[in-house]
Structure 1
Amino acid sequence: MKEDTLVVHEIYSSIQGESTFAGLPCTFVRLTGCNLRCAWCDTTQAFFGGQRMRRGEVLDRALASGTPLVELTGGEPLLQPGAIPLLRELCDAGRTVLVETSGEADVSRVDPRVHKIMDLKAPGSGESHRNRWSNLAHIGPRDEIKFVLADRADYEWMRGVIRERELTRLGCTLLASAVWGKLAPKDLVAWVLEDGLLVRVQVQLHKIIWGAEAQGV
């Protein structure tokens, strides 16, 4: 069965670099493959390659590190059928489980115990037409919506989406992140304060600690 195996790019332990869980020890299971090609993508190495592993082995390795927090990421992890039962099994094992997903993949089957961290792609990504807006029906207070912004136009797009889609009514955390090397975080902060926008501005903590080119951290 397709659900019995997963193509895995890497499994490693570090600290969480983004989201409301930033700074906490976390084990990352990075799956291979993505069907989007965002202009600013910083994990292109995960598009191809990897090792096919039995789902039970992936689960065992993710749990072996002992971190209470586990994240399934990619690429786009929800492209692989085995991701859905793996997320469920990680929850069953008592872990706090995160999934990082692009906003294009269907999140409706993700276990409700999982914290979904879902992008909404801004125009600067080149992939905003791929946003699956129906996913918003499956986002709740334990989840987070992330906007990665390359410039002022992206910021204004985010501001419009938050207001027009009434995202604050979902009860989830709204994250605003500046594309590394493209948009100065201080500019993003200034715009958020000027507009009184109810978002959490975040930086990529792992890049500050280890540098933008480091992998597996």
Structure 2
Amino acid sequence: MVQRECKGPLQTLERLILASKSPRRRDLLSGLGLKFDVIPSEEKEPPFQEGQLPQEYALHVAKLKARNIAKNYKDSWVLGADTIVVVDGDVLGKPKDREQALSMLTRLTGRMHTVYTGCWIVGPYTSGGYEEGFVVGSNVWLSNLSRDILESYVLTGEPMDKAGSYAVQGLGSFMVERIEGSYTNVVGLPLTELVGTLLKLEIVGPRK
């Protein structure tokens, strides 16, 4: 269990748990000034089913992650999240090896794809329980790059734990031509929508 806290415009009013091991999500939340616990979910992600809408899949996985932690921390608010990359209706997850990472990047380069992040919040069971979720989509265009450049990027190792095999906030930023929609959504958490929900539920508030 790791607690994160820094100065920012917001403060946490209720105990909040982030059910994710993603350092990018941790940084986004802590950058707001929030104090929270990090307890990664061990829930196994189900395979994407044919005919399933990608955004429904992302929300479903986020729900599984949040519920997996909430059942053991019934006095806390739990946030689960899942980010996927979608192109031609196919969901691209994290690559299994360098060859698959290069294959994904080759498919994405020079064109547009969509990044969906599903967020699911579970409230304290001791107060009757509460659940709410939402999905945000952003369109991303990668520049048209040669195979040599893509191979060099794969060799950095950065793509290996990233959906779609690139990090918009990392070394992979040089590939991103433009984004239509939320940037933080592509990183891993749509902060505008998430903060609005956390404020509505009075989990967070302005720092005084």
Would you say same fold, with TM above 0.5? no
| Higher radius of gyration, 1 or 2 | 2
- Identify the structure with bigger relative contact order (alpha carbons < 8 Å, sequence gap 6+): 2
